[in-house]
């Protein structure tokens, strides 16, 4: 075979590992024609340098032997996923996904429709030859009713094999695709129309208009078991009945142009990093404290722990905060553990806290026995204490829920509890550091700072009034 | 400056400072906060965020991004990682760099969302088809969730290979102070091999099909040579109180945090214990472990013993078979190992 001498294609197919000038396609196969139409289109439009073709699994896996453009091989059915990333990250690239029917319509159907639904900027060329070619002539989603294949030896039977998929029509149910057309390469007149469609799809990419889907009905003489001429006749007489040719959508005139990418923002600026270093808490002796906060979801248990942890961090201590978590994070038990230390912290999952905060009955039953000997449990007054009380620990009851409600912020029971912990000096962190951490936690809701301050003060006053003070054991 | 953040957020911060251009995500507990923060930070700083339709699609998006020479990442958990294996095999075979963070949960099957370390085998040994393996980094703190994500990008592009940050649910969900990185990584020039849609990259081709068996074998030999080079050049580990230790606990990730506490507790009880923590699980830090192999070794892990078995194999390949084998202290199903359990087990065996 003579060299193709086609614009945009290699003259000698050295990428095939040989000095071949013949394609690997069978006589009468449509791929060679479609390859040529595609390469003529990107070359004539001046897009050859910018074109990246995602090569599929299937006979066209070796498209890169011929196309003199950037090439990458896809996993089966995954060309749209790969093209999505290429197009998003290299917005000047002309991104092409070239796929057959098994690849695009069977294993890759979901990815095809999802990329189309997202309106990715890519040109999809869907070569529909009604059969798996390379793998050995098996039934494809586009195999016609009654068509014999190696996996439908008696002919495709709708009762067991279902009905053919119509991809253009499926893509046409989606909002964002800009251009959808079905063409054929079964004869010269059809080839000229196919060329126009392929060119239009690339123009739309060049003009940054969006997703295009061109289905190309194509003969596969070997797998449909016909001569080249009969295979072309099969396309015209049978496939085109099932898959009518024509343009289903052209919104190229009105589709908006893809905006240029935004410049990157400096991360120091984005995170407000002025380069300053927090003070490090220097201490020779290891001083590690274990706190556990417990209650039910919605009581602000995790936030309470977070304020304590953030206060310790601000003090320059090593700090860990570990929540219990689940698949959904509403309701049910809530608990978090906080460890603060002058030194590197081992496990954040502590077993025996020296301070336990309990905000509901269930948490009391679950956690009270875990307090280490000599430890302190601070429990909301609504919780009935067990009888007998566990030995060797101190227990204090604080009406945190009542105090929050009495001060008009029923949701701030956790803040009332924090006030009690400050008054009791149970955290080993100076009061003003804890208060500042609390106020930082409301940075996005400044209106809440004053009501919460009120609750915090009420709790501190309550403890002082009732002589509840003390140091952490 | 420090920020008090979850491990999952630290991953995103590390990726940004590493110069990540795109995040391709699919939600799964306990990794979802990575996607949440990426959805917030990536577009806000001019980068790309895409939520894919499945983990397999996302992994192929990473393949596309890597093929285009761009720095991109995703985060997932065990079931999602299983689905990504095909694309990871493709990327390994095609010398495509990418970064995947696996925030492990308990399995097998649907399992639950609590921490486990039982993805060890499928992550460390290249769980997909063919003879490949990834670089695998095992953070042990929120700081390392950030720092090792940055390092993952550096090494992924240095060796042109998929790199996994193997974390767990506890590391993802816990908060610690994070020192923000000092500076942003410089852009990497990938024009020699990537398909960027530019004149100079037009002839670049990325594929892994070799129909000719001798050629496919040469490709495999080349890949194994790359892994051997990684093994020589890039082993990292940390030893804590190992110098005089009679007993060495071997642990990574969250288990290493418990083990560290257990070392202190054992020493307070008069047992000279130490902790050996691999930071690179692949390449395995065998050079640093070898001198410790004569001590009493205990693997502490949240899996059936996958990590213990792998250490045994590494030591055996290095010509060392620890007498009495390596002990196993483990929990599964999302149960955390307790300091108490480690101390009791080690002391009972003495």
Phi, psi (deg, nearest 5) at residue A9: -115, 155
Q: What is the mean pLDDT of chain A?
A: 94
Query: B251 with B222, same domain?
Result: no
Place of tokens 């001019």: B46
Phi, psi (deg, nearest 5) at residue B280: -100, 120
Query: B78 with B207, same domain?
Result: yes
Query: B60 with B196, same domain?
Result: yes
In the predicted model, is pLDDT for residue A330 greater than 60? no
Encoded tokens for A287:
């001083």
* For chain A, percent of residues with pLDDT exceeding 70: 97
Interface residue of A51, A56, A88 to substitute, partner B, most B CBs within 10 Å = A88
In the predicted model, is pLDDT for residue A286 greater than 90? no
Looking at the structure of chain B, the number of domains it has is 2
> Quick one: which of B136, B128, B134, B24 has its CA closest to B86?
B128
CB contact under 8 A, A271 and B175: no
CA atoms within 13 A on the CB side of B19: 16
CA–CA min distance A271, chain B (Å): 9
Q: Which residues of A touch B341 (CB under 8 A)?
A: none
For residue A472, the model assigns a pLDDT of 42
| A47-62 mean pLDDT | 95
For residue A329, the model assigns a pLDDT of 52
Q: Could you tell me the residue range of the domain that residue B151 belongs to?
A: 2-233
CA–CA min distance A122, chain B (Å): 13
Report pLDDT digits (tens) over B164-196: 999 999 999 999 999 999 999 999 999 999 999
For residue A2, the model assigns a pLDDT of 43
Report pLDDT digits (tens) over B37-48: 999 999 999 999
CB contact under 8 A, A277 and B57: no
* For chain A, percent of residues with pLDDT exceeding 90: 88
Q: At what angle do helices B213-233 and B78-93 cross, to 10 degrees?
A: 110
Query: Please, are residues A66 and A58 in contact by the beta-carbon 8 Å criterion?
Result: no
Q: Which residues of A touch B180 (CB under 8 A)?
A: 267-268, 271, 273
Alpha-carbon distance of A112 to B66, in angstroms, equals 21
Q: What is the pTM of this model?
A: 0.96
Q: Domain with B317 in it: what CATH number?
A: 3.40.50.920
Query: B151 with B22, same domain?
Result: yes
Written out in words, the top-level CATH class of the domain with range A288-465 is alpha beta
**From A61, A70, A322, residue closest to B201, measured CB to CB:** A70
**From A64, A265, A351, residue closest to B207, measured CB to CB:** A64
Query: B185 with B301, same domain?
Result: no
| A104-131 mean pLDDT | 98
Interface residue of B50, B195, B210 to substitute, partner A, most A CBs within 10 Å = B195
Q: Does B192 touch chain A (CB under 8 A)?
A: no
Query: B268 with B160, same domain?
Result: no
> Quick one: how far is CA A210 from the chain centroid?
21
CA–CA min distance B28, chain A (Å): 9
Query: Please, are residues B72 and B65 in contact by the beta-carbon 8 Å criterion?
Result: yes
Query: B138 with B226, same domain?
Result: yes
For residue A4, the model assigns a pLDDT of 56
CB contact under 8 A, A69 and B202: yes
Decide if domain A14-250 falls under CATH 2.170.120.12: no
CA–CA min distance A72, chain B (Å): 5
CA–CA min distance A194, chain B (Å): 25
CA–CA min distance A317, chain B (Å): 9
The residues with which B4 forms a beta bridge, in sequence order, are B177
For residue B324, the model assigns a pLDDT of 82
- Chain A to chain B, count of Cβ pairs less than 8 Å apart? 231
Query: What is the 3-state secondary structure of A198-226?
Result: HHHHHHHHHCCCCCEEEEEECCCHHHHCC
Contacts of A7 (CB under 8 A, 6+ apart): A39, A40, A43, A44
CB contact under 8 A, B52 and A82: no
Q: Which residues of A touch B50 (CB under 8 A)?
A: 84-85, 88, 118
Query: B244 with B267, same domain?
Result: yes
Alpha-carbon distance of A196 to A199, in angstroms, equals 5
Q: Does B205 touch chain A (CB under 8 A)?
A: yes
User: A1 falls in which pLDDT band (50, 70, 90)?
Assistant: very low
Strand arrangement of the beta sheet that strand A94-100 belongs to: A246-250, A179-184, A212-217, A123-128, A94-100, A51-55, A70-73, B205-206
The residues with which B137 forms a beta bridge, in sequence order, are B165, B280
On the question of a common fold for A14-250 and A288-465, the answer reads no
| Domain end (from B216, B233, B250) | B233
Q: What is the mean pLDDT of chain B?
A: 97
Query: B180 with B282, same domain?
Result: no
| B99-107 mean pLDDT | 98
DSSP 8-class letter at A399: -
For residue A278, the model assigns a pLDDT of 76
Query: B73 with B150, same domain?
Result: yes
Alpha-carbon distance of B158 to A227, in angstroms, equals 52
Cα angle at B198 between B196 and B201, to 5 degrees? 70
CB contact under 8 A, B45 and A89: no
Residue B294, burial from CB neighbour count under 10 angstroms (0-12, 13-18, 19+): exposed
Strand arrangement of the beta sheet that strand B280-282 belongs to: B48-51, B22-25, B72-76, B98-104, B162-168, B135-137, B280-282
* Domain layout of chain A by residue ranges: 14-250, 288-465
User: A471 falls in which pLDDT band (50, 70, 90)?
Assistant: very low
In the predicted model, is pLDDT for residue A328 greater than 80? no
Count of CB atoms within 10 A of residue A87's CB?
Answer: 28
User: B310 falls in which pLDDT band (50, 70, 90)?
Assistant: very high
Q: Does B56 touch chain A (CB under 8 A)?
A: yes
Residues A220-254: b if buried by 16+ CB within 10 A, e if exposed: bbbbbebeeeebbebbbebbbebbebeebbeebee
Query: Please, are residues A95 and A123 in contact by the beta-carbon 8 Å criterion?
Result: yes
| Between residues B55 and A331, the one the model is more confident about | B55
User: A295 falls in which pLDDT band (50, 70, 90)?
Assistant: very high
The verdict on ipTM greater than 0.90 is: yes
Listed in sequence order, the DSSP H helices in A235-275 are 240-242, 267-270
> Quick one: which of A127, A35, A112 has its CA closest to A81?
A112
CA–CA min distance A63, chain B (Å): 11
**From B48, B90, B263, residue closest to A88, measured CB to CB:** B48
Alpha-carbon distance of A236 to A239, in angstroms, equals 6
Q: DSSP secondary structure string, A59-116?
A: GGGGGGGTB-SEEEEPPTT-HHHHHHHHHHH-TTSEEEEEEEHIIIIIITHHHHHHHH
Query: B219 with B284, same domain?
Result: no
Q: Which residues of B touch A73 (CB under 8 A)?
A: 90, 94, 206-209
In the predicted model, is pLDDT for residue A473 greater than 80? no
| Domain end (from B218, B233, B248) | B233
Alpha-carbon distance of A443 to A75, in angstroms, equals 47
**From B206, B261, B263, residue closest to A72, measured CB to CB:** B206
Query: B323 with B174, same domain?
Result: no
For residue A468, the model assigns a pLDDT of 85
């Amino acid at each position: 075979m003579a060299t193709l001498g086609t614009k945009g294609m290699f003259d000698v197919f050295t990428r095939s590992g040989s000095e071949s000038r013949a394609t690997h396609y069978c006589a009468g196969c449509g791929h060679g024609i479609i390859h040529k139409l595609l390469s003529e289109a990107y070359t004539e439009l001046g897009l050859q340098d910018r074109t990246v073709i995602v090569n599929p699994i299937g006979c066209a896996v070796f498209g890169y032997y011929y196309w003199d453009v950037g090439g990458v091989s896809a996993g089966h059915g995954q060309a749209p996923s790969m093209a999505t990333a290429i197009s998003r990250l290299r917005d000047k690239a002309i991104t092409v996904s070239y796929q057959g029917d098994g690849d695009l319509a069977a294993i890759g159907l979901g990815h095809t429709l999802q990329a189309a639904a997202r309106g990715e900027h890519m040109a999809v060329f869907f070569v529909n030859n009604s059969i798996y070619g390379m793998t050995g002539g098996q039934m494809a989603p586009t195999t016609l009713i009654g068509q014999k294949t190696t996996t439908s030896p008696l002919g495709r039977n709708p009762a067991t094999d279902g009905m053919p998929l119509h991809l253009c029509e499926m893509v046409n149910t989606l909002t964002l695709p800009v251009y959808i057309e079905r063409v054929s390469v079964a004869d010269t007149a059809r080839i000229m129309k196919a060329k126009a469609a392929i060119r239009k799809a690339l123009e739309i990419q060049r003009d940054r208009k969006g997703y295009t889907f061109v289905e190309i009905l194509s003969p596969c003489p070997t797998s449909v078991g016909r001569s080249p001429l009969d295979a072309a006749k099969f396309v015209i007489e049978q496939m085109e009945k099932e898959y009518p040719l024509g343009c289903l959508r052209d919104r190229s005139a009105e589709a908006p142009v893809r905006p240029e990418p935004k410049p990157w923002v400096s991360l120091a600026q984005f995170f407000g990093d002025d380069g300053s270093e927090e003070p490090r808490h220097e201490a020779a002796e290891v001083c590690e404290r274990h706190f556990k906060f417990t209650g039910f979801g919605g009581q602000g248990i995790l936030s309470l722990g977070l304020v304590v942890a953030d206060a310790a961090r601000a003090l320059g201590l090593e700090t860990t905060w570990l929540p219990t978590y689940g698949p959904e994070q509403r309701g049910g038990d809530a608990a978090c553990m906080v460890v603060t230390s002058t030194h590197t912290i081992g496990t954040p999952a502590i077993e025996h806290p020296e301070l336990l905060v309990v905000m509901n009955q269930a948490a009391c039953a679950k956690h009270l026995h875990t307090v280490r000997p000599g430890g302190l449990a601070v429990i909301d007054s609504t919780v009935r204490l067990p009888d007998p009380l566990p030995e060797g620990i101190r227990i204090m009851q604080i009406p945190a829920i009542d105090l929050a409600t009495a001060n008009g912020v029923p949701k701030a029971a956790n803040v009332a509890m924090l006030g009690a912990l400050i008054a009791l000096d149970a955290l080993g962190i100076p009061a003003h550091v804890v208060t500042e951490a609390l106020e930082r936690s409301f940075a996005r809701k400044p209106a809440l700072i004053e009501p919460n301050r009120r609750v915090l003060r009420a709790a501190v006053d309550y403890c002082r009034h009732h002589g509840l003070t003390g140091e952490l054991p | 400056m420090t920020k008090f953040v979850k491990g999952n957020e630290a991953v995103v911060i590390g990726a940004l400072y590493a110069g990540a251009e795109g995040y391709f995500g699919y939600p799964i507990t306990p990794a979802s906060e990575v996607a949440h923060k990426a959805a917030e930070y990536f577009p806000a700083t001019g980068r790309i965020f895409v939520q894919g339709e499945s983990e397999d699609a996302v992994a192929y998006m990473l393949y596309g991004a890597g093929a285009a020479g761009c720095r991109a990442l995703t985060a997932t958990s065990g079931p999602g990682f299983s689905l990504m294996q095909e694309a990871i095999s493709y990327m390994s075979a095609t010398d495509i760099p990418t970064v995947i963070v696996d925030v492990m949960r308990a399995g097998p099957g649907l399992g639950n969302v609590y921490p486990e370390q039982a993805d060890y085998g499928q992550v460390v040994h290249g769980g997909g088809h063919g003879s490949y393996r990834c670089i695998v980094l095992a953070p042990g703190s929120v700081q390392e969730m950030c720092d090792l994500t940055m390092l993952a990008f550096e090494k992924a592009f240095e060796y042109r290979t998929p790199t996994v940050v193997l974390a767990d649910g506890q590391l993802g969900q816990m908060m610690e102070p994070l020192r923000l990185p000092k500076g942003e990584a410089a852009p990497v020039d990938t024009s020699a091999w990537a398909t960027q849609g530019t004149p100079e990259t037009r002839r670049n081709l990325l594929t892994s099909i070799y129909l000719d068996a001798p050629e496919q074998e040469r490709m495999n030999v080349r890949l194994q040579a790359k892994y051997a080079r990684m093994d020589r050049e890039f082993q990292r580990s940390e030893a804590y109180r190992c110098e005089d230790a009679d007993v060495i606990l071997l642990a990574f990730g969250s288990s290493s945090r418990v083990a560290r506490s257990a070392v202190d507790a054992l020493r307070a009880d008069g047992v000279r214990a130490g902790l050996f923590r691999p930071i690179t699980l692949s390449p395995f830090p065998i050079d640093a472990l070898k001198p410790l192999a004569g001590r009493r070794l205990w693997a502490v892990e949240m899996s059936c013993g996958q990590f213990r078995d792998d250490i045994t194999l590494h030591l055996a390949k290095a010509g060392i078979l620890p007498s009495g084998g390596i002990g196993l202290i483990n929990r599964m199903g999302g149960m955390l190992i307790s300091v108490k359990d480690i101390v009791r087990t080690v002391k009972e065996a003495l």
